[in-house]
Structure 1
Amino acid sequence: MFLLRGEVNEKGHLVFGGCDTVKLANTFGTPLYVMDEDYIRDRCRGYVRALKENGLEGMVAYASKAFLNMAMVKIVAEEGMGLDVVSGGELYTAYKAGFDLAKVFFHGNNKTPEEIAFAVEHGVGRIVIDHFAEIDMVADIARKRGKNVNVLIRVKPGVDAHTHHYIQTGKQDSKFGFGISDGQAMEAAKRIIASEHIHLAGLHCHIGSQIFELKPFGLTAEIMEDFRLALMKETGELMEEINFGGGYGIHYTDADHPLDPLEYIKEIADALKARCAEHGLALPRFIVEPGRSIVGEAGITLYTLGSIKNIPGIRTYVSVDGGMGDNPRPALYQAEYEAVVANKAKAEAVRKVTVAGRCCESGDMLIHDIALPEIEVGDILAVFSTGAYNYSMASNYNRLPVPAVVLAKDGRAELMVRRQTYDDLLHYDEMPSWLSKA
């Protein structure tokens, strides 16, 4: 087992973002999400640099569904990147943080008229069309507001990336986008081109998440460029840009072997350049949307150990003060994680335990069969690579408050998101009139 994104100080405590994690737990309480600002910025810059080194004109747009709050929007803006949003809530967060909405790509397989109206009214850069009815909806809303809107169409390239079937999104059988092989993508493009007030700026695709292979990305680039050529022959319109989405894998356990961002971008760029040369076409504007690979390893979650329950001859359960409420991924995707006891980070691992969450569900298990030092109630457990899709997917199941998020940098740590209180849980409760009568 390796220390993902962590060091150990003279006290034997795990250090993350320059901060003693035991001190963080004592100061801010647990469960606690901790994000390393320097790592986030380094990953952002790596992607921006990868485009430049491959001679590509375009943009890196952070996929905000991985982790979003106003402070994260500020970091993305300072790094000169765009933003990928998938809901009115994510879009509104960007708007309130002062982000340039012309650099926003608005996705979603079922955007509401209200969300689209907000996007059109506030000048969102690209609305990504996902189904036929959305074409007329966007065109009508744009017409009523006297606006012209740039759109992309989401295309299913038919590539089956080797990942969990819940997060394979480029296959023909997917709720997202239009298929190429069944002619729907071509039909959608023709309808948009024939519409007023909307301009088809290009194509979008996304083949899945947590992908470690290069070949699916290169194959996708070839398919998308072939479709761009077919569109030009069929309609006379040459798409200005292709957005290749994200999906780049990260370290969760020793079994994971992710590549450097430059390798992913180079694979797409080389395949695209070769196809463009073969077709005699100029390169399109090149967009990528990394999310998990920017924030995943930038985050850890700190828990306090509670009950220790040994079942002779079977296993030992160690319960923490969080679980599927703050990290549903093990229950959803059978996701696996590594962890250390933060206050005993140098201690030898001597016993195998299963880390259980506190929710009233038998399936609330964070880590099965992990080797840890001798443990006791009150120890602090640090779970690695929780920066993506943990806070984003957190819930109030069992009426548990969502944990705080702190941003760590050079030994300093301050809140990005405050911890919910019990009063916060009641904030939106209402009492129907017939129940409130004496």
Structure 2
Amino acid sequence: MNQVPVPSLDELWSILPEEASADAATPEVLSIGGVPVTELAERYGTPLYVYDETGLRRQIRRFTEGLRERWPNSEVLFASKSFPAVGMYRLAQEEGLSIDVAGGGELQMALAAGVDPARIHMHGNAKTDAELAMALDAGIDTIIVDNADELDRLERLLPARSGDRAATPQQLLLRVIPGVAAKTHASQATGGDESKFGLPLGQAAAAIERMRAHPLMDFAGVHLHIGSQILDVEQFAEAVSKLSGVTSDISGGTPFRTYDVGGGLGVKYTYADDAPAVDAYLDAVVAAAREHLPADARLLIEPGRSIVARAGVTLYRVTSVKRTGRTFVAVDGGLADQMDAALTGQRFEAVLANRLDAPWSESVQLVGRQCESGDLLVDGAPMPPAEVGDLVVLATTGAYGYTLANNYNGALKPAIVFVGDGASRLIARRETYADLLATHEPAIVSRA
């Protein structure tokens, strides 16, 4: 077999969770949070989403403490679409994050986790009456308005509130289009002039005037978001600079109370990626804010991927190895639990996790079990010769794996575990075939 380029040890650990290492008892086995992946596979089965809880908490504190030091009147919101699990909502609140939800399902999970409604913000470009009513009934802090039709809905729904909230104005932000063409995959760019999200400045002015005139609407400021998986921090600074134009063009120079500059910081998925550190991102955002925003304004950011991506991996078991001129290593999951590989073409890196010390001598097609040629997890993955029963870790899959998990070919959604300090705990159980059938009507048997 031909020798293939092999990453250095530093490169290998740079894509794995912070608390990943070779297991002390069996050095050839990958350990995360002090728990060998062999133990996790035996106890919970595969495929399995595994998160380094210590690393999650540490990364959250980099954002919350770092922003507070640079801009005291600030708030960090977890963009929960990146990992909407009740256990993650609970951890986020414990670490001082507020929560960004998009839709009724995410709101219900946040509330089920015990998140204080006063720390919840609701996004969405097509919120329904039912979702807005749910948010109003829950008493959430802020609704980010996307369009004029949403204002129509709020005008109908706000007077119908009951109790103490009936006469209390609902805090609102308006999402504006910043006109920043983010350097990312087209499906992840949200701040360009043709974005489906938010309003251009001309329409934004009318929407703000309408909110300010309504006795039950408390217009607090503006929101923007330029996209996701962005590796150039200067693009965030550019987005912040656009907000000063919003103030001057829409408000005649009168500043807003709140400026939400969204999220989108990218992460290191591959050995070749060069992802900015949290400090570099915060430095760029705050420097631009000091130049362009009022000194007493409230500054909000919304990290998601950059909190959870590296902390999570997906653990698979090899089911077949086929050599037909190319080497295909097939695992017991695929695009049903790793949709980003097909949706955005995101490259991941894979590790043969139960034989770390074996020489990496092959370049393989790491494929899944779904009936699609596009079910390719890694194209040309360097690894040792794999065998049936081996364990493969797909690194940096903590963002959007669980979010986009689906039942393609009747696949069951994997379980989620948090690991740390040598222990593991179940956050979400594996879906069962009974779960899969629960929403379906039973077959009608003909009595003819």
Structure 1 length normalisation: TM-score? 0.95
Superposition deviation, residue 431 in structure 1: 3.2
**CA distance in 2 between partners of 1:305 and 1:162 (Å):** 35
Q: Which residue of 2 aligns with 1:159?
A: 180
Superposition deviation, residue 414 in structure 1: 1.3
Aligned length: 427
Q: Give the letter aligned to residue 415 of structure 1.
A: L
Q: Give the letter aligned to residue 79 of structure 1.
A: E
CA contact (8 A) 2:204 2:250 kept: no
Q: Which residue of 1 aligns with 2:131?
A: 115
Q: Among residues 220, 237, 248, which one is paired with 1:201 in the alignment?
A: 220
**CA distance in 2 between partners of 1:352 and 1:98 (Å):** 46
CA contact (8 A) 2:258 2:299 kept: yes
Q: Among residues 39, 56, 73, which one is paired with 2:55 in the alignment?
A: 39
Deviations 1:408-435 (Å, cap 9, x if unpaired)? 01110111000011111111110376x5
Q: Is 1:86 matched with 2:86?
A: no
Superposition deviation, residue 32 in structure 1: 0.5
Cα gap change, 1:437 to 1:83, in 2 (>3 Å): farther
Cα gap change, 1:437 to 1:390, in 2 (>3 Å): farther
**CA distance in 2 between partners of 1:360 and 1:143 (Å):** 51
Moved more, 336-345 or 185-194: 185-194
**CA distance in 2 between partners of 1:56 and 1:217 (Å):** 19
Superposition deviation, residue 357 in structure 1: 0.6
CA contact (8 A) 1:326 1:390 kept: yes
**SS of the residue 2:176 aligns to:** strand
Q: Which residue of 1 aligns with 2:205?
A: 186
Q: Is 1:346 matched with 2:357?
A: yes
Structure 1: segments with no counterpart, 5+ residues: none
**CA distance in 2 between partners of 1:437 and 1:82 (Å):** 57
Deviations 1:46-71 (Å, cap 9, x if unpaired)? 00111122133111000100002221
Moved more, 136-145 or 316-325: 136-145
**Matches for 1:264-283 after TM superposition, within 5 Å:** 264-276=281-293, 281-283=294-296
Q: Give the letter aligned to residue 175 of structure 1.
A: K
**SS of the residue 2:77 aligns to:** strand
Q: Which residue of 1 aligns with 2:4?
A: none
Superposition deviation, residue 256 in structure 1: 1.3
Q: Which residue of 1 aligns with 2:348?
A: 337
Q: Among residues 299, 322, 326, which one is paired with 2:312 in the alignment?
A: 299
Q: Among residues 405, 410, 426, which one is paired with 2:421 in the alignment?
A: 410
**Matches for 1:58-97 after TM superposition, within 5 Å:** 58-97=74-113
Q: Which residue of 2 aligns with 1:284?
A: 297
Superposition deviation, residue 309 in structure 1: 1.4
**CA distance in 2 between partners of 1:429 and 1:60 (Å):** 40
**CA distance in 2 between partners of 1:240 and 1:437 (Å):** 68
Cα gap change, 1:351 to 1:225, in 2 (>3 Å): same
Q: Among residues 305, 313, 321, which one is paired with 1:308 in the alignment?
A: 321
Structure 2: segments with no counterpart, 5+ residues: 1-6
**CA distance in 2 between partners of 1:377 and 1:113 (Å):** 51
Give the superposed CA RMSD: 1.4
Q: Give the letter aligned to residue 344 of structure 1.
A: R
CA contact (8 A) 2:68 2:74 kept: no
Q: Is 1:322 matched with 2:363?
A: no
Q: Among residues 264, 268, 275, which one is paired with 1:258 in the alignment?
A: 275
**SS of the residue 1:415 aligns to:** strand
CA contact (8 A) 2:243 2:292 kept: no
**SS of the residue 2:39 aligns to:** helix
Q: Which residue of 1 aligns with 2:247?
A: 228
Cα gap change, 1:275 to 1:422, in 2 (>3 Å): same
CA contact (8 A) 1:51 1:57 kept: no
Moved more, 325-334 or 137-146: 137-146
Q: Which residue of 1 aligns with 2:198?
A: 177
**CA distance in 2 between partners of 1:272 and 1:238 (Å):** 13
Cα gap change, 1:437 to 1:126, in 2 (>3 Å): farther
Superposition deviation, residue 98 in structure 1: 1.4
Superposition deviation, residue 310 in structure 1: 1.1
Structure 2 length normalisation: TM-score? 0.93
CA contact (8 A) 2:71 2:299 kept: no
**SS of the residue 1:271 aligns to:** helix
Deviations 1:266-306 (Å, cap 9, x if unpaired)? 11111111124xxxx43410100100110100001110101
Deviations 1:338-361 (Å, cap 9, x if unpaired)? 111111012110111101110011
**CA distance in 2 between partners of 1:18 and 1:132 (Å):** 52
